[in-house]
Structure 1
């Protein structure tokens, strides 16, 4: 029986009870109940500033932005976001762990291009001579060539005598780029355009999921060719770690594709490195960064990136997955602290709906679990699933299979809100969702953050870690932008919500239990310093 309040006072009492029961299911409810007076005060300050900026900054007239609002399309609103006090506050926040980002899409594209221009091995070719008409529809193809293969014919990919698909050294191609196409600056803009998605592309040219995925996929092929040299890749990792540290990230789990691991040219240009050598270089770069921090007396700023998540693409034939499985097991045995392990993912080759569903890989994946038992090792599954608008499609059913396979985390899980039983399972089994809000929006799964299913996920008590996915493509480096979008798009979410997301990113990482305890201890110290800074700078 539903009790209908008889008086106004009774009504408001029942109303408060109902809201309380509903909010008690939220993931951050226990933290809200136990938070300190300092955190409560800082949260109130942030809520006040958010409300003020919703009425001021977001209601001002902005050049070329016709409909500004908090949580709007990221690529259009980015410049407005960067003007806000909330963004400045969140940029100082200790973010915890970054659990979902893909090599090779994690450093600033112009920086990657500058590094590539210094490499003697990197060459470029195009299938047709470039002209003002075809420039923006033609992708550059980059590749580091072995010394014996470096036979450039001509110096320009835009001259009238260019032979299609002829390799030209990247620096020569840039220097000789046709003035009608913008000269060297035009070359840079063309390459950067091939590495990124701009607002007109995301919200105009490629305004459907299928179209934008094709553009997104193409950026990875360009980035791989630019970054597949050992000396460059070492600096690439180093710059990524430093930028992450500066964003308040203290621990990283980076996804990496085995084909990328096998295609890195050695520094001498005479051979390609083995997977073992690339993984070793990754570990050495982490060690260097930690040593630098130790010398500066701030070694607790970065706990490392001790887990590579080894990925296979969903366009591979199921029978071919066995080879990747054995490679992953071999790397895990040699580098037990670096390989976390993920299979059956699709992000480098296209949209989930267009590739093989997880069910196609059940036999090799069950075999993989058997081989782990034989080798007495553990490589947790960390599957992508539900990054789709479908309902009941083969791709959308992936959410059932990854849970049955025992995934520890789910990448994206955008469609999970359609499945109440699965939400319950994720809550009870503590299966974390790696949610990438800006990526989901730019890739047209949602039109804006207020329309994103994340509030429903949090309201159901499911653990979540925010991540940036492919930041070099979207420009959402680190996780500050994603945290911002989540905060301003919900009146319920507050500073304590963001703290919960950061804690969960550490708790559900692949670190060992004692490492997690230490990471959380250090994070709590930073968190309280952060809260005090808010009160000192913005309090009454």
Structure 2
């Protein structure tokens, strides 16, 4: 028998590749793309190829050893100069489904908000020196007026003494940089920098310690009623500016109370939710007044607490979640447990209260889906990795991170069959040392298996990936298969797998499709 011709072989080869790629979620739409979508995808692929040769090359004098999808903190300044990023910055992103509220506003904006309030005070455990500045964690919080300090600078304060934040900044030691040095010092403890991520804290345990410390500082600034509302409004504003049209944000209710305007730690969670609802209502009214009501379709809260409590203590938070759902049925979207999975309690530790929580919902006629963090780990068979099994058995609507999911073929099959979307946070995973770069991230494995994915920013105030444009960029440049049509499907799925009801979801998807076609027309025009 004569061998097949090269043409026959190439035909079989193309069919083979196409058959495997047909598993991807965007594949079913490829034959029904509008002309604008097809042209825009071609334009973006060409720009990516051109920039891979001209920007992501060792010939770059300012940054040796560069490549597409490299370490984000090192490459961010280069990313924002690319044509590709500027295109994606205008893309309608759909929903942001995995975000922690206490890390959603630029930290310099947060510090500026705090400096407007004389109630804020700051203290340090020891005197500040140039050598100790980077390792001395500030504690910031509002204080009642009767406890305001008369001290004028941190230099005048003994260890642990409170100093008014405004005075501490104005009179910060000139040898340490004066007021600007003060800002840099506080901001440094609210963020992770490249030296920490890729040098001094390059193991998962070490970087998580630094990561947790950023929240310790931020919580004292955010948990103040006069800050809470404008902080949320700023979060909504910047998200809308980045093309995000719907939000499900995780709020940590572990503190139980926040500080009121008088500086007392007495404001209960129901007031937090009420202010969130007010901020949402005011944002939507502002957009309506501008004739832009179709760009934003709301925000809801995923009630969260940290996986550090005893099962009995967890009962209290689950009961509070039920009560808040009854009072704010349209705002409370789900329940989650957060925190470092490798070192804190796994889901199985809370199995009794979690099962009772489901039963209580049935009794009360409520629907509060679990939306669990699970598999945010390098482990294989560790308790953090096994969280994936418990999350699915407990009926999780989505999986937060799911980094280790790619090690579990049966679980991936179940996620695809049941429509369990994965909230993937690629830049967060890279900075928290689960992967060294985007080409090594498991996201393409999940996408290639046809599992729905929502791209998320996780904690952008800490990582510097504000909005979603950076995460979309990193995903796009790290794969030759992924194109603009893939990103469009991810954005579409972020709305499809949200907790919006059918009517609201339909409206949000229709509005997104309209914006998407307009965006594709603009991108397609770049190739003419």
1:134 counterpart residue number: 132
Provide the secondary structure at the position in 2 that maps to 1:69.
coil
State the shift of 1:341 in Å: 2.1
1:40 corresponds to 2:38? yes
Equivalent residue, structure 1, for 2:161: 166
Does the 8 Å CA contact 1:99/1:252 hold for their aligned counterparts? yes
Residue 147 of structure 1 contacts residue 270 of structure 1 at CA under 8 Å; is this kept in 2?
A: no
Within 5 A, what are the aligned runs for 1:373-388? 373-388=362-377
Cα distance in structure 1, aligned partners of 2:37 and 2:272: 43
Distance 2:475 2:103 in 1: 22
Task: Give RMSD over aligned pairs.
Answer: 1.4
Could you tell me how far apart the structure 2 residues matched to 1:270 and 1:202 are? 36
**CA distance, structure 2, for counterparts of residue 290 and residue 5 of structure 1:** 67
Deviation, 1:18, is: 1.0
Given candidates 443, 447, 455, the residue that maps to 1:454 is 443
Unaligned runs of 5+ in 1: none
Q: Distance in 2 between matches of 1:382 and 1:30?
A: 27
Displacement of 1:61 in angstroms is 4.6
1:257 matched to which residue of 2?
A: 252
Structure 2: stretches of 5+ with no match in the other structure: none
Could you tell me how far apart the structure 2 residues matched to 1:157 and 1:529 are?
54
CA contact (8 A) 2:94 2:494 kept: yes
Secondary structure class of the residue paired with 1:43:
helix
Please give the alpha-carbon distance, in whole angstroms, between the structure 1 residues aligned to 2:383 and 2:104: 30
Spell out, residue by residue over 1:107-166, the C-alpha distance to the aligned partner (whole angstroms, 9 max, x if none): 11111111111112211111111111211110001111233333x25222234xx21111
Deviation of 1:266 after TM superposition, in Å, equals: 1.8
The CA distance in 1 between the partners of 2:369 and 2:515, in whole Å, is 30
Q: Secondary structure at the match of 1:397?
A: helix
Structure 1 residue 502: Cα displacement: 0.3
The 5 A counterparts of 1:363-402 are 363-402=352-391
The CA distance in 2 between the partners of 1:387 and 1:220, in whole Å, is: 18
Q: Structure 1 residue 271: deviation in Å?
A: 5.7
Q: In the TM superposition, what are the counterparts of 1:82-481 in structure 2 within 5 Å?
A: 82-150=80-148, 152=149, 154-159=151-156, 162-260=157-255, 262-270=256-264, 272-305=266-299, 307-346=300-339, 351-481=340-470
The reply on whether 1:488 has 2:477 as its aligned counterpart is yes
What residue is the counterpart of 2:527 in the other structure? 539
Please give the alpha-carbon distance, in whole angstroms, between the structure 2 residues aligned to 1:293 and 1:230.
24
- C-alpha displacement of 1:10: 2.4
SS at match of 1:343: strand
- Distance change >3 Å, CA 61–CA 111, structure 1 → 2: farther
Distance 1:61 1:180, change over 3 A: farther
How far apart in 1 are the matches of 2:201 and 2:265?
39
3-state SS of paired residue (2:348): helix
